[in-house]
Structure 1
Amino acid sequence: MPGRADGRTILIMSTEYRALLPGSLLAEPDPDAGGVARRTPRDWVVDVLVFVLAVGVALAMAAIGYEEGVDPGRNTLDLLLGLLSCGALWLRRRWPVGVALALSAVGVYAATSIGAAVVGYFTVAVHRRFAVAAAVGAIGFAGGFLFPLLRPEWDSSPLWVDLAWSAFATLLILAWGMFVRARRQLVISLRDRAHRAEAEQQLRVAQARQLERARIAREMHDVLAHRISLLSLHAGALEFRPDAPPDEVARAAGVIRESAHQALQELREVIGVLRDDPADEAPDRPQPTLADLPGLIDESRLAGMRVRLDRQVDDLAAVPAGVGRNAYRIVQEGLTNARKHAYGSTVDVTLSGAAGDGLSVEVRNPWPVGVPLGPEIPGAGTGIVGLTERATLVGGRLEHGRTPSGDFRLWAWLPWPA
């Protein structure tokens, strides 16, 4: 450190240094990051605090000089240089290395600048890499050899004692400053990693929603193609057989009306979600309906699951294809999740509702206890997101989570028009 002092000076310097430790400089902007940020209210509090402490050290050192009989003129000049050094601390955020070197030069003559020099060097140690901070500290330490030549009145102890104290203080400030720097960089790294993970999770959710929309659009394409082909078939029959019996004409007209109504229902579902997918070369297989649900249950049972189906809907085939398909997918996802996370437990599947009231689907299984018996089945963790999007798009709603009784419950309500 710049300058040379006796035991009382070192005690004052240590007190000043300890005042800086409780996070006072931890919130300063790092000049390495490019530019100097505008001072925040916390920065102003920190700057005022270190300035007042440095001025206090300067006044205390000047008082000691007067008590020790130092020449009043030289002591007054020393005090003026010390106060100027304290004022230079307001520039340390913008030019930490320059301010520290200037304070080292002033410290060759002014003992009152020791407090400001501690603050300036600590700032360099926090904001600059080790090589720069060590070089600045070495320059300040070298100034200690010149101090007794310019201010012999302060020479109250052997030179080697003062130099040893100065080296110890320099290394201590350097070590603490590098620790603060490393801690700050770690906090910034963890914060950036957390922000990046959050952004990636949001991106995955958005992609899952987009993929689910595209998949629903492909399913709607198959259904609409079927409905429109029926319309074309029956309309063509009426066109080529205008002399058909009235009952056949009425029957064909009824089929056309029903198919058109269902096609419009399906079209309302696909509006807003249809997306082009040129990468998909092969068409999807025929989409399931609620009438295929018993087959899904039997398939799960053959795979070793214990599934109980409580069917409160008399005719599964009476459920509209779009509603039944969504209910089928919800049950399928619920069984998949139970197989992944609660293997071996009993899964209860409940279907209830009627035309005009809506269709309720519930999949419930006990919350898993302990560790899995086998390796965990991998998954993207976006299945529930897709189901929520699916239910919302058709005007329904979906809930999931742990119940007060300790079960995991997946529940959805889907509109079932009368």
Structure 2
Amino acid sequence: MRWRGARRDLLVDLTCLSLAFFTAFVLGADAVDAGRQGPDGYVLACALLTLAGCVALWQRRARPMAVALFEVALAGFTEYVAGAMLIAAFGVAVHRPWRQVALVMGVGCVAAVPYALVRPDPDLAEAGFGPLGQAVAGVALSFLLMTPPVAWGMVVRARRELIDSLRERAERAEAEALLRAEQIRGREREDIAREMHDVLAHRITLMSLHAGALELRRDMGAEEVAKVAGTIRTSAHQALEDLREILGVLRAGPGGEGREGGRAGAGPRPQPGVADIAELVSESRAAGLPVLLEDRLPAGEGVPPSVGRTAYRVVQEGLTNARKHAPGREVLVGLARAGKDELHIRVRNALGARAGESRLPGSRSGLLGLTERVSLAGGRIDYGPRRAEDGGVDFCLEAWLPWPKT
């Protein structure tokens, strides 16, 4: 690309130099035909000045202002540099602001005065123009000659600035689009990470509790062992299905269908809601966690799917933490309408594990992710140790989600 640009610049420079020499040749031939070429010394000086003016055009890109002022200064002594002067004026109009363009035109008009006085036009003299008239005519002619290339150059400059502005705007829009896409991908990753934590932590803690029962209850019969082993296998299968579905969404991206996300032709499984909390409690009871569910929601009033999904995740996280940090302790799950426009979820359990129960390690990130999830849903959350009625200390997780009356 750079080589192509250099070749194009060389071709343009050669074209400008050829036009400047051709203009000088035409003007010189016209002066010879009219018999006003002047003495030989003057002709030689004009030839040398014209050669210098044409060669100076090679520097018009690097020093457009200096070259233009040099050309208009030479125009005060010889008319043969007119072509080079117009090309230099065009270069200034392309590369410099209008104030410098006006300066070049002004100097060019002023330079026409001494030339008109030293080399008066015979036709104007025959028409009765004196020195002042010759000077005015020279200024007018110089202004008329310089106006077209200067105007053309300013149009070219405005077009280039417009193209550069459009290109910069397009690049900025592309960069902003990439940034927005990256932010969307980041939010998608965070959503998937929270989903994986909520789902897998629940399944794995269930498997851990059942496996712990097999380890501690050595007096279990073969039928009971088989039942517990079947529960572990079912939980592991469900965990793998959940993981496969989430990874399928991750591979497909937003709006796509994962390559491994379920059976071919099958859509994603329905998202859990408030109606699925009872099944979630039953799973925890089957794992040996005593859970009491108090459902005080008004009959016949459906919870919006987004609110129900968040409520399900709140209860799931509460039960998961209870199994991890207080296994064997009774857990109270409460659902109720708070006021007129909120769904109140409460998960409360006594702190500490019973004798013989082992505590599972936690990542300490579930409640943080849950807080963000509830906040994005427009609700609020509160959790921490609370004084129990029997004088002990309970851990209480509460959330209030928006649930406007319909």
In the alignment, is residue 215 of structure 1 matched against residue 191 of structure 2?
A: yes
Distance in 2 of aligned mates of 1:139 and 1:167: 10
Q: Which residue of 1 aligns with 2:65?
A: 97
Residue number in structure 2 paired with 1:359: none
Report the Cα distance in structure 2 between the residues aligned to 1:289 and 1:107, rounded to whole angstroms. Answer: 82
SS at match of 1:147: helix
2:17 is the counterpart of 1:51? yes
- Of 137, 141, 156, 1:161 maps to 137
2:134 paired with 1:149: no
CA deviation profile, 1:292-318 (whole Å, cap 9, x unmatched): 5999xxxxxxx9xxxxxxxxxxxxxxx
**Contact persistence 1:62–1:79 (CA under 8 A):** no
Give the one of 245, 249, 257 matched to 2:221.
245
Query: Identical aligned pairs, as a percentage?
Result: 43
Q: Deviations over 1:123-148 (max 9, x none)?
A: 11111111111012101110111102
Of 166, 169, 175, which aligns to 1:199?
A: 175
Asked if the contact 2:109–2:140 (Cα under 8 Å) also holds between the matched residues in 1, the reply is no
Determine the C-alpha separation between the residues in 1 that align with 2:24 and 2:91.
19
Distance 1:229 1:39, change over 3 A: closer
**Residue type at the aligned position of 1:142:** V
Which consecutive unaligned segments of at least 5 residues does structure 2 have? 251-266, 275-303, 305-406
Output the CA distance in 1 between the equivalents of 2:170 and 2:27: 48
Root-mean-square deviation (Å)? 3.2
CA distance in 2, matches of 1:232, 1:79: 101
DSSP-derived class of the 1:145 partner:
helix
Shift of 1:187: 1.2
Measured at CA, do residues 270 and 137 of structure 1 come closer, stay the same or move farther in structure 2, by a change above 3 Å? same
Superposition TM-score, scaled by structure 2 size:
0.55
Aligned to 2:269: 290
Contact 1:59–1:79, Cα closer than 8 Å, also in 2: no
Higher relative contact order (CA 8 A, sep 6+): 1
Matches within 5 A, 1:218-297: 218-264=194-240, 266=242, 290-291=269-270
Instruction: Provide the C-alpha distance between the structure 2 equivalents of 1:76 and 1:86, rounded to a whole number of angstroms.
Output: 15
In 2 relative to 1, CA 291–75 (structure 1 residues): closer, same or farther, beyond 3 Å? Answer: closer
User: Are the aligned partners of 2:116 and 2:138 in contact in 1 as well (CA < 8 Å)?
Assistant: no
2:215 maps to a residue whose letter is E
Distance 2:95 2:89 in 1: 10
Instruction: Measure the CA separation in 2 of the matches of 1:68 and 1:244.
Output: 128
Counterpart amino acid of residue 8 in structure 2: R
Q: 1:224, CA displacement in angstroms?
A: 0.5
Please give the secondary structure, in 2, of the residue aligned with 1:165. Answer: helix
Aligned to 1:326: none
Q: Which SS does the other structure have where 2:123 is aligned? A: coil
How far 1:58 sits from its partner (Å)? 0.7
Task: Give 1:218 shift.
Answer: 0.8
Paired letter, 2:67: V
Distance in 2, Cα, partners of 1:38 & 1:90:
18
Q: Which residue of 2 aligns with 1:120?
A: 88
> Aligned letter for 2:23?
V
> Counterpart in 2 of 1:61?
27
Aligned AA for 2:22? G
Structure 1 position 262, deviation (Å): 4.0
Which structure has the larger Rg?
Answer: 2
**Residue in 2 aligned with 1:84?**
52
Once residues 139 and 95 of structure 1 are traced to their aligned partners in structure 2, the CA distance between those partners, rounded to angstroms, is 17
Secondary structure, aligned partner of 2:113: coil
Deviation at 1:108, TM superposition (A): 0.8
Cα contact 1:108–1:146 (8 A) shared by 2: yes
Which one is further off, 60-69 or 74-83?
Answer: 74-83
For 1:200 and 1:292, the matched residues in 2 are separated by 33
Q: Which residue is 2:400 aligned to?
A: none
Q: Distance in 1 between matches of 2:102 and 2:67?
A: 15
- Residue deviations 1:8-57, cap 9 Å, x none? xxxxxxxxxxxxxxxxxxxxx9xxxxxxx995222222111111111100
How far is 1:260 from its partner? 3.0
Give 1:80 shift.
Answer: 2.5
Q: Displacement, 1:169?
A: 2.7
State the secondary structure of the residue aligned to 1:109: coil
1:189 aligns with 2:165: yes
Q: Which moved more, 1:155-164 or 1:42-51?
A: 155-164
- Given the superposition, is the C-alpha separation of residues 216 and 292 from structure 1 closer, same or farther in structure 2, using an over 3 Å criterion? closer
